[in-house]
Amino acid sequence: AIHVRRGDKLVEEARGDVILYWRSQGHTDYQNLPTDYVPFAHYLSKWDGPEKCVRDDAGELQIMEHNVYVATDDPVVVHEEIAALPNHINETTILWNDCHQLSFFFNPTDASAFHLNGDGEKGFSEGHQEEAESDSCFDRYHRNIASIADMMILSKARIFIGEFNSNWGRAIRTMRVRLNNADAPSELAESDGQVEDNEDTNISVDTRSMVQGSDRPTKTLDTRVAWGRTIPLPPGY
């Protein structure tokens, strides 16, 4: 699953990270960037690469099918970005990194109910008076239910690609923490706050979450940061 958070976060809090991203792509004119957000294709760059592809006895690549749920507050633009991706099999499915067949799914209410109220935490911003006047308790309830559905799917996905710039992303990461099986053998070496992959269990273990002196009491489901801060602070910070 992929979470693409844009909206009000790009105006101030995440603006510096967006500039850093485009600087890494060779753009130095911060007043004239290609977009004021990090492209969806960059999120997909965190997907498994060709090295994860499997070949059969004849040496042919085996296509691995993946259903990818996309939660976003910018569904119209993300749909356009997916349409512009290469190697389309059909309107919503692409072949990525040689063998990964990605089929994208969105919340069916995205056309009318984003997973945020108004333009952000403070409701509707200046210039959106018409939207504010047409908003209702029913519309907000509709969006909140859609938000809960998004959160449940993102928290249980086998792979999650997102960012920690928003409370939403940090909350999802928290919900992806699981108690470790105390009886399972520990095969991962301790590192300095890095996330390491256990190929046998397909679980990423965040060593920052370990309690000193314990045998890794928690583990985090495979969570990949697309851009911005990499330290998963608790929601609200």
Residue-wise pLDDT for 65-114, tens only, equals 999 999 988 888 999 999 999 999 999 999 999 899 999 999 877 555 55
| Predicted pLDDT of residue 62 | 93
Q: Which amino acid is at 145?
A: I
Q: Please give the pLDDT value at position 232.
A: 80
Q: Is 15 left (phi over 0), alpha (psi -120 to 50) or beta?
A: alpha
Residue length of the chain: 237
Mean pLDDT is lowest, of 41-55, 123-137, 191-205, for 191-205
d(CA 157, CA 230): 20
Average pLDDT of span 166-193: 68
Work out the pLDDT band at 138, boundaries 50, 70, 90. confident
Is 81 or 143 the better-scoring residue by pLDDT? 81
- Show the tokens assigned to 32: 């004239």
For the cut 70, the answer to whether the pLDDT of residue 119 exceeds it is no
Q: 3-state DSSP call for residue 204?
A: strand
The CA-based diameter of the chain, rounded to the nearest angstrom, is 63
Q: What does DSSP say about strands 64-72 and 100-106: parallel, antiparallel, or unpaired?
A: parallel
219-222-227 Cα angle (round to 5): 120
Measure the CA dihedral 15/169/49/90, to 10°: -90
Residue 161 tokens, joined: 């690609």
Q: What is the pLDDT of residue 229?
A: 83
CA atoms within 13 A on the CB side of 44: 22
pLDDT for the residue numbered 209: 38
Q: Which of 20-29, 102-111, 173-182 has the highest mean pLDDT?
A: 20-29
pLDDT at 165: 84
Q: State if pTM tops 0.85.
A: no
Q: Which amino acid, 219?
A: K
Q: Tell me the C-alpha distance between 192 and 195, whole Å.
A: 9
Confirm if 75 and 110 have CB atoms less than 8 A apart.
yes
Answer with the residue of higher pLDDT: 12 or 212: 12
- Nearest CA-CA partner of 8 in 36, 29, 31, 33: 36
Place of tokens 């999802």: 172
Q: Is the pLDDT of residue 211 over 80?
A: no
Does residue 207 carry a pLDDT above 90?
no
Mean pLDDT of the chain: 78
- 191 in Cβ contact with 172 (< 8 Å): no
**Confidence bin at 131 (pLDDT 50/70/90):** low
Q: Which amino acid is at 196?
A: E
